[in-house]
Amino acid sequence: MRVTPKLLSTLVLAAFIAQPTLAEELTGTLKKIKDSGRIVVGVRDASQPFSYLLNDKQYVGYSVDLCNKVVDSVKKQLKLSALSVIYQPVTSQTRIPLMQNGTIDLECGSTTNSMERQKQVAFGNNMFWVNVRMAVKANSGIKGLADLNGKPVVTTTGTTSDRYIKQHEVGSKIDVKNLYGKDHDESFLMLETDRAAAFVMDDTLLAAKIANSRNPADFAIVGEILSGEPYGIMLRKDDPQFKKAVDDALNAVYKSKEIYNLYAKWFQSPIPPKGLNLRMPMSDKLKALFDNPNDKGA
């Protein structure tokens, strides 16, 4: 075949088009994961059913399952034959500092995505929606905020619930004695042993603590909704490449039946270790988050 100048030009152009697009240079967390062959996931010991330690051996929960989906997607994106997953326990107090100093790469717990926290860290597209309310002893006679005047009220150190208690103290003209548990287990124990008259926290966490207590009928979730807020998977701020990888992985789960299967697994089925079923139908607010994924903070 005679190669004319016109044909040569066409072949060169075709060859140029056939070249694969140069891969975007890795930066930030993705580069760290690629170079080290490991990803560090922050988890909680006692945030049932989102993230908790089972028999001192295995971290499980709704958030942990979602993070495992993200890890699988990152491994595939980086074309890694193996990726070591390290689970690093964090608390309400340590989760943000450990994210900022690079100890953990993802935080998979029950963390509210708030505008205030977005000044320090970033969040993947929101994964849950909760209302902040209070758990009390069923026979306490406490029905709402007005009944808390002069009583001890506990929440967990480092949570957004503390802010809502103080805001409503002013708005409701009540004066409570604020107590703090180091984690959700200790906060609930203070309610259980009558050291606190109410435990203010996210309703889903309260429902899980009550379901796992010795006598669930002894407790009730009552009173006004102090706030509604989204949960998000936390990651480092100013890392757009990793943020996109996390959002793409979550959006793929949200737009498939997988998210409904995950929800049913943790909120509408028996969960370990006691086989309790929270029997919580998915709220319209959460369905809307899955239909239109976003990372808006409260």
**CATH hierarchy code of domain 29-130+230-291:** 3.40.190.10
Q: Is 150 left (phi over 0), alpha (psi -120 to 50) or beta?
A: left
Helices (H), 78-116: 95-100
Domains of the chain, residue spans: 29-130+230-291, 131-229
Task: Give the CATH fold of the 131-229 domain.
Answer: D-Maltodextrin-Binding Protein; domain 2 (3.40.190)
pLDDT per residue, tens digit, the chain (298 aa), is: 454 555 545 544 444 444 434 467 999 999 999 999 999 999 999 899 999 999 888 999 999 999 999 999 999 999 999 999 999 999 999 999 999 999 999 999 999 999 999 999 999 999 999 999 999 999 999 999 889 999 999 999 888 777 777 777 766 678 889 999 998 999 999 999 999 999 999 999 999 999 889 999 999 999 988 889 999 999 999 999 999 999 999 999 999 989 999 999 999 999 999 898 988 889 999 999 999 999 999 9
Is it true that 29-130+230-291 and 131-229 share their CATH fold?
yes
Q: What span, in angstroms and rounded, lies between the C-alpha atoms of 67 and 231? A: 13
pTM listed for this prediction? 0.80
Closest CA to 132 of 195, 186, 206, 62: 206
